[in-house]
Structure 1
Amino acid sequence: MSISDTTRSRVVDAFACGWRKPHPHAWDELLAPDVHLEQPFLESGHGRSVWHRGVAQLLALIPDLAGVVHGWAGDDDTLYIDVELTGTIGGRSLSVRAIDRLTLDGNGLVTARRSYLNPLPLAAAIAARPTAWPRWWRSGLPPFSGRTLGR
């Protein structure tokens, strides 16, 4: 199936809007109810509730988290978005770049998201900043393990 550039542009705008001022439901109009999610450092699975939990956990760790879209490309039903996430952790700023691969249905809803992100800078920032440890622990994000870091 081929998705129009107009639809792709609308999806990118909604994706970027969600990252400008993120909250767990900021992407609800964009995500299919049974969206498949593969994401390092966060729970992978199916459904918006998986996304809601992941975003809530990230914001519990990094309350000022925000993202800026730097570009995108698309082909058929696939959209690639280059996003830079920034925030403060343990009193120091952090910036991480990711590429999200989104699969769209004919209505422009995201049916699958796979994030290509190196989580090691985030893990290193947490490990190097003991003041961040209580916030990380309370966030509910998983411990640093091969299961979460090796995607």
Structure 2
Amino acid sequence: MQDDRETRKLNAIVGAAIKALAESGAADEFVGAFAASHRAKVAGILGANEPVSDSQDLLAIVTQAVGMALEQAGVGKRKETTTKRVNVEIAGRRTSLTLSRNSLDKLSLAKGTKQQAKAVIQDLANTAPMDVENRSAWVEERLHGYLTLMDRDGPSLAHH
């Protein structure tokens, strides 16, 4: 897929820039600000279509990049991911959430289909305050509450 190749190129360029910046001894605040803004600039230069997101889960991106670097260096093994990205639309803009694979599996099982589970996630994402810093964590927290209620109330809630 063209978009996947563009995304990988974009991630490689931005990752290399952030790595070099961090190795130069730059202050954490500067590296963070650079990471938040540089991706869109590089996408524009490359003419790539960067996926629009309200807030990128920088921790997930950095964790993935560090894991890949360790794996390539032969230091670490690639573990089965415990999270999954779920695409949602908020205020007319596409973004993605990084959610626990375990929670997503429980929700799909309880709702019966992945489409019904995605509808619940979309509803939760829509109710998040616009100023929330980490929408993924906010939705994950509400999803845990939702699943707890479903477990407590039994199958009757699962059909609503």
Length-normalised TM-score, structure 2: 0.28
Q: Answer 1 or 2: higher relative contact order, Cα 8 Å, separation at least 6.
A: 1
When you count strand as a share of all residues, which structure comes out higher? 1
Q: Which has the larger radius of gyration?
A: 2
When you count helix as a share of all residues, which structure comes out higher? 2
